[in-house]
Amino acid sequence: MNKNFKGALYAVITILIIILIVRFLIRLLPYFLVIGFIIWLIFKFKKKTNKTSEYREENYYNKDSYNNQTYSNVDSYEEDDDFDTSNAIDVDYEDVDNK
């Protein structure tokens, strides 16, 4: 076979294969879109139900912890020794409205 004929035959076969694949994918495109939309709806629904259930659990636990709250740690309050007020600025205020 001639080199040019062989190269042209490969090019024609490649183009025909590409055309067949594209036609096949174009026919399947509506199905892919429908399947993708259904999967998207499923994920949205799952995300919505997970948020709702987390919200319910969070409210349940917050309400439960609020009802069972104890104040035993109030007696163990200690002054913060790191808070130093020696560098605080003392300001004298005057009431300017009464002058």
pLDDT tens digits, residue range 27-48? 999 999 999 999 999 999 888 8
Q: According to the model, what pLDDT value does residue 11 have?
A: 93
50-61 tens-digit pLDDT: 776 666 666 555
For the CA atoms of 16, 14, 1, 3, the dihedral, rounded to the nearest 10 degrees, stands at 130
Q: What is the mean pLDDT of residues 7-27?
A: 94
pLDDT band at 19 (very low <50, low <70, confident <90, very high): very high
